[in-house]
Structure 1
Amino acid sequence: MSITHTVKCFQHQNEYCLYDAKQIDDFSPNMLSALYWQKNKAVTGSAQGRGTTWFVKYTPKHNKQTQHWVLRHYYRGGLIGKLINDSYIFTGQTRTRAAQEFSLLAHMQALALPAPKPIAYRVVRSGLIYQADLLSTRIENAQDLVAILTTKSISPHLWQKIGATIKRFHHHNIYHHDLNAHNILIDEAENVFLIDFDRGEIRANNQSGWQKDNLDRLQRSFLKEQKQLLNFHWTHENWQLLLETYLSHAP
C-alpha cells in the first residue's frame, strides 16, 4: 500500500502536521518535540550535527511492536545559520523543508529505494516565519561510512555496492543535496542506505550535470575526512572502484 493512502493531517492554530497513520495509532504533535520523548524515557541516543538528532523508540498501543525512529529539527547551515538558526520564510505549506523531504521520502519508498521511511512532520508558523521537525525511521544496526572507515577498511565489493546504490537513486532522478560520507549508512548485512534528504528533489535527466555534482561533493567529503582524521581507511583506488561501478551499473 502506498504511504499516500495512510497519511493524515493534524492542524491546530499555527501548527500543521502530517503523519502516517499506519505507523502511529495515537498521534500527538508533541511527538515532534524532543521533550516528549525525554519525558517518556524513550530516547535511545543522539547525534550532533547542525543541531541534535534524537533517536527514539515508539511502541504502538495496538500491535505493541517497538519501532525506532529519528527526530530531526531543521537548522540552517553556513553563515546565515549563525544569524537565523532555525527559521525559514513561509511561502506555502507544501514548499516547507519538512513537507518536501517527507514527500520525497514517501516517493522513494514507492520506488523501493534504500532510504528511511517518513513518519511525520510538523510546521509551526509565526507570521511569515516557520520552524519545522521531521520524524523518520531509523536504519537498524547501521553505521555511517565515516565511522566505519575510522576503524577499518571495507571490501572492494562493498565499494562497488555503494557506487551501484548511488546509481539507483540517480536512475530514478533523485538528487541528494548533501551527498557526503556521513549520509551513507552500512548495516550489519552490508546493505547500503542513503539518509538526510533535506533540500533533495526529483530532477530531470537533462538538467545540467547534477549527477556529477553529487559525485564531486561526495569525493570532496572523503578528501576532507582524510585530511582531518588520523586514521581514515580510504584511498584513491577505493574512489575509482566506486566511480567505475557507478558508471557501468544499469539499475
Structure 2
Amino acid sequence: MNSPLIVNYCQQKVFQQDNCYCLYDSDQVKNFTPQMFEADYWQQRNAVNGTAQGRGTTYFIQHQQQQWVLRHYYRGGLIGKLIHDSYLFTGYQKTRAAQEFALLSQLAVLGLPAPKPVAYRITRSGLTYQADIISERINHAKDLVALLSEQTLAAASWRAIGHCIQRFHQQGIYHHDLNAHNILIDDQEKIWLIDFDRGEQRKPAQQWQQQNMDRLLRSFNKECLKFSQFHWQPDNWRQLMEGYLS
C-alpha cells in the first residue's frame, strides 16, 4: 500500500506504553488516554449515542462538542472466520489503522468530503497486532442504503454522487470498498465518502477507477435483492454516471 504525503494536517502526538502504541490529533484530543478506544470507557460516561453493525459494532461517541466514530478492525472473507481481528505486524506505519489515518489526513488536506481522523491504537501481541481508530462522525447524514429503503432520490442527487466520486478519482484516491453503505448524504444534500480502510492514493488510471465503479454498481444490485422496497432503478446509474463523467 502506498503511503500518502501528509502536509501538516494536524498536530500529531504519540503515546506508547508496553504493547500499546497510539497516535492522536492533539487539537481534537486534549486529555488523551488509551482507554478511549474501549466502548466501556464511553458507556460509563453515557457518551455512546448510537451504534452500527457491520463485521463488528461501530460506536458513535459524543465527546464534549465533538461527534466521533469508534471502530475496531476486523478481517473479512473466509480468513475473517478463522482469524477475526489479528494482523501480521511489519511496522507501525504499515498497520491498517496508521494507513487509514494517513489517508484521511491527506483527504483533509485535499479538501475532499470524508471524515477527519482523530486517533488510532495499535496493540501488539508477539508477531501480530490488533487495531482501533476514531474518526469524525458526519452529522445529520444517512447512507444510501438507508435512504433508498425509504425514498427515491432526485436526478440531481444522483449526479452529485457521481461528481463526488469523480473528485476523489481525479486526486488518485482509491476506495477499496466503494459501496452504497459508504456513501452518505447529509441534511444539506452534501455527499460524503466514508470507510477508507485499505484505501490508498494512486496514480489515476482507468482500470482501478472502473473497478471502483463496477463494485458500486454491484452493491446497488445486491441491495435490491435484500429489500422488498428499494428505490433504485437502472436509470439512476445513468444519472450517477452523468455526474461522474461531467
SS at match of 2:133: strand
Matched, 1:12 2:10: no
Counting only pairs closer than 5 Å after superposition, residues 59-70 of structure 1 correspond to structure 2 as 59=64, 66-70=65-69
Residues 3, 20 of structure 1: 8 Å contact kept: no
1:234 matches 2:239: no
Unaligned runs of at least 5 residues, structure 2: 1-6
8 Å contact kept, 2:115–2:136: yes
Are 1:28 and 2:33 counterparts?
A: yes
Structure 1 partner of 2:245? 247
Matched length: 240
| SS class of match (2:111) | coil
CA distance in 1, matches of 2:10, 2:61: 25
Alpha-carbon distance in 2 for matches of 1:95, 1:33: 23
Matching residue of 1:63: none
Alignment deviations for residues 8-57 of structure 1 (CA, whole Å, 9 cap, x no partner): 11000110000000001101111111111111111000000000000001
The answer to whether the aligner puts 1:43 opposite 2:48 as a matched pair is yes
Matched residue SS, 1:204: coil
For 1:25 and 1:134, locate their aligned partners in 2 and report how far apart those are by CA, in whole Å: 17
**1:140-159 map, 5 Å:** 140-159=139-158
Contact 1:46 1:52 in 2 (8 A): yes
User: What amino acid sits opposite 1:169 in the alignment?
Assistant: F
Question: How big is the alpha-carbon RMSD for the aligned residues of Structure 1 and Structure 2?
Answer: 1.0
Percent identity over the alignment?
58
Give the structure 2 partner of residue 187 of structure 1.
Answer: 186
Q: C-alpha distance in 2, partners of 1:57/1:31?
A: 12
| Contact 2:171/2:204, CA 8 A, preserved across alignment | no
Which structure 2 residues correspond to residues 47-126 of structure 1 after superposition, within 5 A? 47-59=52-64, 66-126=65-125
SS at match of 2:160: helix
Rounded to whole Å, the distance in 1 between the matches of 2:130 and 2:90 is 13
Matched to 1:113, the amino acid is: L
What is the SS of the residue equivalent to 1:24? coil
* TM-score, reference length from structure 2: 0.96
Deviation at 1:247, TM superposition (A): 1.5
Structure 2 CA distance for partners of 1:49 and 1:5, relative to 1, 3 Å? closer
Aligned to 1:210, the other structure's residue is in SS state helix
Q: TM-score by structure 1 length?
A: 0.94
